Amino acid sequence: MTGYVCELCGIDRKAYAAMMACEEECHAENVAARKNHVSPRTMRPAAQWDDD
């Protein structure tokens, strides 16, 4: 164990630069997954806003 462990995936990368690159990659994957699984917000027509 070298102490350079990615906080997001837990893999020991053995070097600081490799760990930082891994964290950036994991973060980018998490953001992309979140974007793909979130449905777009449904907008109601402004004329019918008081029907609720």
Three-class HEC string of 10-36: CCECCCHHHHHHHHHHHHHHHHHHHHH
Cα separations in angstroms, 13 against 31, 35, 38, 40, 52: 22, 27, 31, 37, 54
What is the model's pTM?
Answer: 0.56
> pLDDT of 13-45, one tens digit each?
899 999 999 899 988 888 888 877 654 455 555
Instruction: Supply the DSSP symbol for 40.
Output: P
The residue extents of the domains of the chain are 1-37
What's the confidence (pLDDT) of residue 52? 47
Please give the Cα distance from 6 to 16 (Å, whole number).
10
What's the confidence (pLDDT) of residue 46? 56
What's the confidence (pLDDT) of residue 27? 87
The more confidently predicted of residues 9 and 2 is 9
What's the confidence (pLDDT) of residue 47? 58
